[in-house]
Each structure stands twice: as C-alpha cells, then as structure tokens.
Amino acid sequence: MTVTLPPDAEGITEAARLLATGELVAFPTETVYGLGGDARDDRAVARIYEAKGRPSFNPLIVHLPDLVAVERIAHVGPKARMLAQAFWPGPLTLVLPLRDGAGISPLVTAGLETVAVRVPEHPLAQRLLRAFGGPLAAPSANPSGRVSPTQARHVLEGLAGRIAAVLDGGPCAVGLESTILLADPEPVLLRPGGLPVEAVEAALGVTVATGGDAGKPTSPGQLASHYAPEALVRLGASEARDGELLVGFGTVKGTLTLSDSGDLVEAASRLFQTLREADRLTGPGGRIAFAPVPETGLGRAINDRLRRAAAPRG
Ligand code: TXA
Ligand code: MG
C-alpha cells in the first residue's frame, strides 16, 4: 500500500519518519517528483532501483537542503561555488568530487569518485530535507523508461504498491529535470534541463562544452571503464577454479557472497563493496568468479554491472 501524505507538518513528519526507517517516499521538487531514499543506506538505495525496475545502476542525484550540507559530502570548486551561489536552490545539479568518508552508499555513485548533488527549491522538498536531516538519493519517481511525473497522481500510476508513500505537493512548476553540469576545472553540460545553459554561461562568463546526456551512452560508457576491477572476472560460476576467489549467491557458497539467502535487494546493496573487497583480496592479475544471479527484477541491473566488470579491457 502506498499512502498519499498531505503537504502539511504532519505529512512531512511522517515522510521523514518513513525515510529514516529505510522506506521510499516520493516527494515534489520544482522539476519533477523524486523517488527519495536515504543516500547513506545501501538497502534503501537498492530498493530505489528495484521500485523503478532500472536495468542498470545509473548513478543517482543526491538532494540536500543547502550548500553547507553539500560541502560535508563533496568538494566544491571555484566555478561550482559561483554556480551554487547563483542558482541554488533551483534546477541545477552539479557533479562534484566525493569527499572521503562522506558516507554516501556506493550504489548512489555507481562506485564513482564523483557525486551528483542538487539543492531543490520546492518548499516541501526543503522542509522534508530539513526534517529528515540527511542526504536523499532521488531519481525521477517513474518506472524506468516512462516519462517523469509532475503530479502525485502520476507517481501513483507508475509506482503504487512499490513505495511507502508520496508527499502530495500538487503539480511541479518546471516540469523538466534539472540541468546537470560538471563545473570544474572547465564547465561541461552533461544533461540539458530546467536551467538554461545560457544562464550558466552568463554567470561564469565562459562557453559551456557539451558532454552529451548524462543518462545516455557518454557517461555510462565512461562509468563502465571507470569501475572495472583490476582482477579478471568470470560469471555464472558454480564453483571456484584454481586460484579464483568465488563470490557466492544463494545456494552457491563463496569466500564472499552477494546474498547468502539469494535476496536480490541485499545482493544489489552489497554489489559495489563486494567488487572492491574481492579486488582487494585477489590483487592485480587476480581472478574473481561470480555465482549466477537470476536475470529478473534487480538481477538484471546486477548482471548488467557484472558483465561490464567481466568485459575484455581495451
Ligand atoms: O530534476 C532532477 O534532476 C530530478 C529530480 C527528482 O531532482 N532527478 C533526476 O534524477 O532526474 P535521475 O536519477 O533521473 O538522473 C540522474 C542523472 C543520470 O542521468 C546520471 O547519469 C547523472 O544524473 N549522474 C548522476 N551521478 C553522476 C556522476 N557522478 N557523474 C555523471 N553523471 C551523473
Ligand atoms: Mg529519470
């Protein structure tokens, strides 16, 4: 059951309480409705991918109430600071270097060393972020491949029964996702969106290069090579061959495991840390074998990521 929460103090308190227990709550921003979960909680983030039925782990945007909160998790360079001061709160997302020990789930950043952050302007988003008191990972609140929702009703059409609640703030003013930028050292547009690129150019006094749509081949392609482990990876293994470290799943037991009980949410939540741990244990030139993971639900995204890890390196 997905409850609709009213846009008042009680609704916000309940939304923050649900989020603190690892549940998912859709909430309005000025761009589109976001599907929020605690960005520090691996399982909550895994459930976001599950609820959307995303076939791959694209990195998610982290929402925070202000620049001070952003600086606790990311390094803000000079151009990023100018843009933050000019356009936050608002429909601008900045991709910034992640701070060590920021506490953001590696599933949010897809194992990258950068994090996409945004300070939304919508008063309900602001009140929710302050009531929750932590970073919220939030992609658009629609099933993968469908259009982004700009009303609570749209969220329910796609996700009813898959999330705990939706905070009803009426229609979104912008109706288009945020503009995504890499600001430093030189600005690159990763996704055009609610903030016109001309406004960014005027604020910085420089031309902005176009890096393609952050959600399309350019960045996921780069992500794949970014996150290849050093070890060689074999998939669909029922047991370890000589010199291999086996990562188990369900009935296939390994030195490490994605999920002993064969739970796909748990497996997704542990995926990036397990890849890192296996890589560390085997070292350069080592070999890692992964037990088969079913190609259903979150298993599709897990297998997509594992296939990238196993792909031949150029
Ligand atoms: O308006 C919006 O931005 C909405 C509302 C809810 O805030 N959110 C949204 O999130 O559109 P989502 O998850 O649908 O879009 C995230 C985009 C993806 O295309 C992803 O590739 C890019 O952000 N992204 C996230 N982290 C990144 C990173 N570290 N480097 C490059 N691109 C990144
Ligand atoms: Mg989207």
pLDDT given for residue 147 in this prediction: 85
pLDDT band at 314 (very low <50, low <70, confident <90, very high): low
Ligand 1, atom 30, lies closest to the CA of 95
- CA 39, CA 62: separation in Å to the nearest integer? 7
Q: Which of 105, 22, 46 is nearest to 297 (CA)?
A: 46
* Ligand showing the shortest atom-to-Cα distance for residue 214: 1
Q: What is the pLDDT of residues 179-219, one digit of tens each?
A: 999 999 999 999 888 898 999 999 999 999 987 544 443 44
The residue count for the chain: 314
DSSP-assigned beta bridge partners for residue 37: 137
Ligand number nearest CA of 60 is 1
Q: How far apart are CA 163 and CA 33, in angstroms?
A: 13
| CA-177 nearest atom, ligand 1 | 1
Tokens for 117, please give them: 């952050």
Amino acid in the structure at residue 129: L
Q: Is any atom of ligand 1 closer than 6 Å to the C-beta of 114?
A: yes
Model confidence over 65-88: pLDDT tens digits? Answer: 999 999 999 999 999 999 999 999
Mutate to test the pocket of ligand 1, among 177, 218, 272 (most ligand atoms within 8 A of CB): 177
Which pLDDT does position 227 carry in this prediction? Answer: 56
Ligand 1 near 116 CB (within 6 A): yes
Question: Kind of pairing, strands 61-63 and 165-167?
Answer: unpaired
Rounded Cα distance, 214 and 195, in Å: 15
Domains observed in the chain: 3-210 (3.90.870.10), 232-310 (no CATH)
Q: How far apart are CA 85 and CA 64, in angstroms?
A: 14
The residue contributing the CA closest to ligand 1 atom 32 is: 214
Q: Averaged over 161-189, what is the pLDDT?
A: 94
Decide: 60 in ligand 1 pocket, CB within 6 A.
Answer: yes
151 close to ligand 1 (CB < 6 Angstrom): no
Nearest CA to ligand 1 atom 6: 34
Please check whether residue 158 is in contact with residue 145, taking contact to mean a CB–CB distance below 8 angstroms.
Answer: no
Q: 144: burial class by Cβ within 10 Å (0-12, 13-18, 19+)? A: middle
pLDDT tens by residue, 208-245: 998 754 444 344 334 444 456 788 999 999 999 999 99
